[in-house]
């Protein structure tokens, strides 16, 4: 974390004078911070406004009158069902890809076997392939296998995460192997070593990968849009898109209240998780893609 | 793998296998079990899917019936299709807006939150926050923010005396409108990559330069930016791949309109494949998009390698 310098910094350093440039840059930066947060505030503000108060000549950040009518409109749709769908899909997909990613990453980092280099290169190479390229054939395959409009259809394509493999390989490469070697001398098998020693030590990587994979799965859009055929099988992001005033052409201004209520509901879970675990989020991104 | 079952049939051969070496070290046969849970779905849903997709692009295929081999027909059709240059141009134009803008914004953000100034942690949180939110939110909130008459953006621009900008309703502006939403969504992620790069720069280097009397700007120009090149290259590569694949924001915000001015390649593939169910042609277009991404990425990597700061 970036530590915030306090006036009472313990180390006796020569106090640097705060220059004019620094003040100007700081003020500018903070203005951008406010602007960056503004869409969220505006979204929540709009979501509790009465329809008549949404379009005003002057900007009203604070609603003059508050209503829950917009939220009532949103909950007239099967929102709770969508929420449950999203939770099931994202949780199962994340759990699977975590386990497969950790095991495969461990094998690439620690175990010695013919084909290791080739297979790892193959995994990395697919990072270049846009998932859209597989989406037509996957859709056909799933349609033919009658694997549409159910949870398996949502989950299966995301149980193998190349990103997860990469992240865990990097982590295990940087982990000292003494503990594992000691266990090996004591006669423990590879699987015992992995599950009782290596995996517990990989807790930071597991948390980082879990958060990142969960967000990805939670926010997935194109694939769930394709394989959900009925209202009650939609995931939350796909279902909530029905509140879009833009889709279908003409913007219907009346619908911004319910739309922003729906977006507030959709935003809160991910934003809360992020705020609580943000250290792991950002460090996870840093350790994953970059130090390779 | 239990040893009892392994050793029963042919003890000698199996013992040899167990002690087999490769490149001078004993082979960990269990490794193949370790990688199985990943490689089975990876093989099915990625490798085979890619191969199958490549095959389908040489066929004509609706959802019903079997694909019929038509050779290069789909690609010939793409060359004659007036929409193809249109959607490719839209996508490249969108990339030319979003990639440089996001890179600059993200770099500025990273430099800002990397300072030990009051509020830096808060700034980092706020800048990254849009990245964790579902694309539906990004799209819908920005449709509202960019509304021509009552949107927040135009209201504030109005205070500055700037007339209403038809962000999402005018073909000339629509890509800029969508770009605004995308930059807000994505800059935080690129910022973190830059941050990782900044934290890898040894403090001593900067301090030494400052002792030698270099200004803040000179340190940035001659020390920080050159050392950020790997991060810069990664950011730009990821942004190029991401922008050429743009779909969800557009689908939600404009669905390709007005007058197809924001129809990206994947919006078009989606229409062909999943609205008209012309799967062969859609697969061919996907293959062409993949080739485009590959070419642009390779060119970009070459350019960045020889470029001097």
Position B11 confidence tier, pLDDT thresholds 50, 70, 90: low
User: What is the pLDDT at residue A94?
Assistant: 93
User: What is the pLDDT at residue A11?
Assistant: 46
Per the CB < 8 Å rule, is B113 touching A2?
Answer: yes
Q: Domains in chain B and their CATH numbers?
A: 83-198+228-306 (1.10.3720.10)
C-alpha distance from residue A185 to each of A142, A189, A194, B192, B263 (Å): 47, 10, 14, 41, 62
The answer for A 210-229 residues in CB contact with B (under 8 A) is 215, 218-219, 221-222, 226
- Mean residue pLDDT of chain A comes to 82
The answer for A 106-145 residues in CB contact with B (under 8 A) is 106-108, 111-114, 116, 119, 122-123, 126, 128-141, 143
Residue B1 confidence (pLDDT) above 50: no
Per the CB < 8 Å rule, is A100 touching B255?
Answer: no
Judged on CB neighbours under 10 Å (0-12, 13-18, 19+), A121 is exposed
Is residue A27 within 8 angstroms of chain B, CB to CB? no
pTM of the full predicted structure?
Answer: 0.83
User: What is the pLDDT at residue A17?
Assistant: 63
Residue A8 confidence (pLDDT) above 60: no
Residue to test with chain A: of B31, B57, B237, most A Cβ within 10 A: B31
Per the CB < 8 Å rule, is A42 touching B144?
Answer: yes
Per the CB < 8 Å rule, is A253 touching B155?
Answer: no
- Which range, A67-81, B18-32, B294-308, has the best average confidence (pLDDT)? A67-81
Residue A4 confidence (pLDDT) above 50: no
Q: Are B148 and B154 in contact, with CB atoms under 8 Å apart?
A: yes
pLDDT in tens, B151-180: 889 989 988 989 989 999 899 999 999 999
Position A290 confidence tier, pLDDT thresholds 50, 70, 90: very low
Q: Domains in chain A and their CATH numbers?
A: 20-67 (no CATH), 75-290 (1.10.3720.10)
Rounded Cα–Cα distance for residues B224 and A146 (Å): 55
- Read off φ and ψ for residue A272, nearest 5 degrees: -65, -45
Residue A248 confidence (pLDDT) above 70: no
Report CA A97 to chain centroid distance, whole Å: 14
Per the CB < 8 Å rule, is B257 touching A249?
Answer: yes
Q: What is the mean pLDDT of residues B89-105?
A: 96
Per the CB < 8 Å rule, is B136 touching A263?
Answer: yes
* Stretch (H or E) spanning A53: helix A51-54
Better-scored residue on pLDDT, A192 or B17: A192
Determine which of A240-244, B13-17, B36-40, B79-83 has the lowest per-residue pLDDT on average: B13-17
The answer for B 61-120 residues in CB contact with A (under 8 A) is 61, 63, 109, 112-114, 116-120
Residue A251 confidence (pLDDT) above 70: no
- Mean residue pLDDT of chain B comes to 87
pLDDT in tens, A31-83: 999 999 999 999 999 899 887 788 777 788 888 888 888 898 888 888 889 99
Position A1 confidence tier, pLDDT thresholds 50, 70, 90: very low
Residue A92 confidence (pLDDT) above 90: yes
Residue B219 confidence (pLDDT) above 60: yes
Residue B97 confidence (pLDDT) above 90: yes
Position A285 confidence tier, pLDDT thresholds 50, 70, 90: low
Residue closest to A174 by CA, chosen among A137, A210, A202: A202
């Amino acid at each position: 974390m970036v530590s915030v310098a306090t006036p009472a910094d313990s180390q006796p350093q020569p106090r640097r004078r705060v220059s004019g440039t620094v003040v100007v840059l700081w003020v500018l930066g903070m203005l951008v911070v406010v602007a960056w947060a503004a869409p969220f505030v505006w979204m929540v503000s709009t979501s509790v406004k009465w329809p008549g108060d949404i379009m005003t000549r002057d900007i009203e950040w604070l609603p003059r009158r508050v209503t829950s009518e917009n939220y009532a409109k949103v909950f007239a749709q099967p929102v709770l069902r969508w929420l449950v769908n999203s939770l099931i899909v994202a949780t199962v997909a994340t759990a699977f890809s975590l386990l497969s990613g950790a095991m495969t990453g461990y094998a690439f980092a620690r175990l010695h076997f013919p084909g290791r280099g080739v297979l790892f290169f193959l995994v990395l190479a697919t990072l270049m392939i846009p998932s859209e390229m597989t989406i037509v054939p996957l859709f056909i395959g799933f349609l033919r296998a009658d694997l549409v409009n159910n949870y398996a259809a949502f989950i299966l394509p995301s149980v193998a995460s190349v990103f997860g493999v990469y992240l865990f390989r990097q982590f295990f490469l940087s982990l000292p192997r003494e503990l594992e070697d000691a266990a090996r001398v004591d006669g423990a098998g590879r699987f015992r070593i992995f599950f009782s020693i290596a995996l517990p030590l990989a807790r930071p990587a597991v948390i980082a990968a879990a958060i990142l994979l969960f967000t990805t799965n939670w926010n997935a859009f194109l694939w769930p849009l394709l394989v959900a055929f009925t209202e009650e099988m939609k995931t939350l992001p796909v279902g909530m898109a029905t509140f879009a005033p833009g889709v279908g052409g003409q913007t219907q201004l009346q619908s911004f209240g319910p739309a922003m209520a729906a977006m507030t509901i959709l935003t809160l879970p991910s934003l809360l998780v992020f705020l609580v675990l943000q250290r792991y989020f950002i460090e996870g991104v840093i350790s994953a893609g970059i130090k390779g | 793998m239990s040893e009892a079952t392994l050793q029963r049939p042919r003890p000698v051969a199996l013992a040899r296998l167990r002690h087999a070496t490769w490149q001078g070290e004993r082979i960990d046969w269990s490794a193949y079990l370790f990688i199985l849970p990943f490689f089975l779905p990876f093989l099915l849903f990625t490798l085979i899917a890619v191969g199958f997709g490549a095959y389908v692009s040489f066929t004509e295929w609706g959802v019903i019936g079997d694909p019929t081999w038509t050779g290069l027909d789909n690609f010939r059709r793409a060359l004659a299709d007036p929409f193809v240059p249109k959607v490719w141009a839209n996508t490249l134009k969108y990339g030319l807006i979003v990639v440089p803008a996001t890179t600059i914004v993200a770099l500025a953000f990273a430099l800002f939150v990397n300072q030990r100034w009051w509020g830096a942690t808060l700034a980092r949180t706020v800048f990254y926050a849009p990245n964790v939110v579902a694309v539906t939110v990004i799209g819908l909130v920005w449709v509202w923010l960019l509304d021509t008459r009552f949107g927040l953006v135009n209201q504030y621009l109005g205070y500055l005396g700037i007339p209403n900008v038809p962000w999402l309703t005018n073909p000339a502006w629509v890509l800029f409108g969508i770009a605004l939403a995308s930059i807000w969504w994505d800059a935080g992620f690129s910022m973190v990559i830059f941050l990782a790069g900044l934290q890898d720069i040894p403090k001593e280097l900067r301090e030494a330069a400052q002792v030698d009397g270099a200004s803040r700007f000179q340190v940035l120009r001659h020390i920080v930016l050159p050392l950020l090149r790997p991060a810069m290259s990664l950011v730009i590569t990821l942004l190029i791949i991401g922008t050429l694949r743009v779909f969800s924001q557009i689908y939600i915000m404009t669905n390709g309109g007005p007058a197809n001015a924001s129809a990206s390649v994947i919006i078009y593939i989606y229409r062909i494949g999943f609205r008209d169910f012309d799967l062969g042609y859609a697969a061919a277009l996907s293959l062409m998009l993949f080739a485009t991404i590959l070419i642009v990425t390779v060119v970009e990597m070459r350019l960045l390698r020889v470029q001097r700061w």
